[in-house]
Structure 1
Amino acid sequence: MTSSPPGEESCAFCGIVQGHGPARVVWRSDDVIAFLPDVPAVAGHTLVVPTRHVRDIWDVDPWLGQKLAYATSRVAEGVAIAAGTRQINLIQSNGLAAGQTVFHLHVHVVPRQPGDRMPEMWPPDADWSPANLDQMAADLRTAFAESKGN
């Protein structure tokens, strides 16, 4: 038996937005809130979260997506100043296989320092032939032409 991830009624981030859950909030607007995760990967690691329950990138409307992008940029600037580095990862995961553990859309703003505890993000042994890359590009162009974003 499989179970679906929790919705708004049991969402930890919705609890934080509503003021019911503990959080170290660092920035807030009507549409977006930014707070420290319970266990930051590195000092300054901050989550940027829509105040409205949105499960993932597939569930966000373009207007809220723009507000989330703007807020992420503002938070990244604050994190860069506080952490003393402009080296930052923005990480946004969708689905279990991608590492999403809280099913409320969110962006991780993670300041980076040489030798910090964050792992490498891309495998060093990735090896793609030009033919593989050409086919990948063709498949993506076809998908974009068929997508609702036209």
Structure 2
Amino acid sequence: MTSSPSGEEGCAFCAIVQGHAPARVVWRSEDVIAFLPDAPAVAGHTLVVPTWHVRDIWDVDSSLGRKLAHATSRVAEGVASAAGTRQINIIQSNGPAAGQTVFHLHVHVVPREPGDRMPEMWPPDADWSPNNLDQMAADLRAAFAGSKGN
């Protein structure tokens, strides 16, 4: 894991973790902090952020991964209760093409309701042939077989 307990210079989320920047913090543990983004997508949208600087999912070790998953679940329960819905997106993006704009790992917990202002997540016109899907599955199985998390 590539991380820094003291934070990354210039990182907006490290500044929040360290108390050097304002934030609407809703929950905190030793390893994770949850706060509202400055421009929530919908009411209740909350960010779950490790208190150590971790750039993205590729830099997370299994211990932090477990803590982050537990914290995300706990925050989702709070968001669901406050928003009065059990319909929630859990979104975590890595890299610019995936929409990551702050390069400190974070998870979005977004309560949803029909007709809200969030766009559809998957294109309705996705049309994959059975052969394409079979090849994707074979490629993924091969990748998993060769990975260190086997």
TM-score range for the pair, normalised by the shorter chain length = over 0.9
In structure 2, what is the Cα distance between the partners aligned to 1:24 and 1:70? 21
In the alignment, does 2:79 pair up with 1:79? Answer: yes
Displacement after TM superposition at 1:33 (Å): 0.2
Q: Deviations over 1:92-131 (max 9, x none)?
A: 0000000000000000000001100000000000000101
d(CA) in 2 for partners of 1:106, 1:142 = 29
Q: Name 1:100's counterpart in structure 2.
A: 100
1:39-78 maps to which residues of 2 (within 5 A)? 39-78=39-78
The code of the aligned residue for 2:56 comes to D
Match of 1:127 in 2: 127
Shift of 1:148: 1.4
Name stretches of at least 5 consecutive residues in structure 1 with no aligned partner: 1-6
Letter in 2 for 1:136: M
The C-alpha deviation readout for 1:39-66, integer Å capped at 9, x for no partner, is 0000000000000000000001110010
2:15 is matched with 15
Q: Distance in 2 between matches of 1:142 and 1:8?
A: 36
Aligned counterparts of 2:60 and 2:47: Cα–Cα separation in 1: 17
TM-score using structure 2 length:
0.95
Residue aligned with 2:27, SS = strand
Runs of 4+ in 1 over 6 A off after TM superposition: none
Q: Distance in 2 between matches of 1:60 and 1:139?
A: 24
TM superposition score normalised by structure 1: 0.95
- Aligned counterpart, 1:89: 89
- Give unmatched runs, 5+ long, in structure 2: 1-6
Question: How far did residue 8 of structure 1 move?
Answer: 1.2
State the number of aligned residues.
Answer: 144
- The 1-side partners of 2:149 and 2:21 are apart by 36
How far apart, in 1, do the equivalents of 2:94 and 2:148 lie? 19
**Percentage identity across aligned positions?**
88
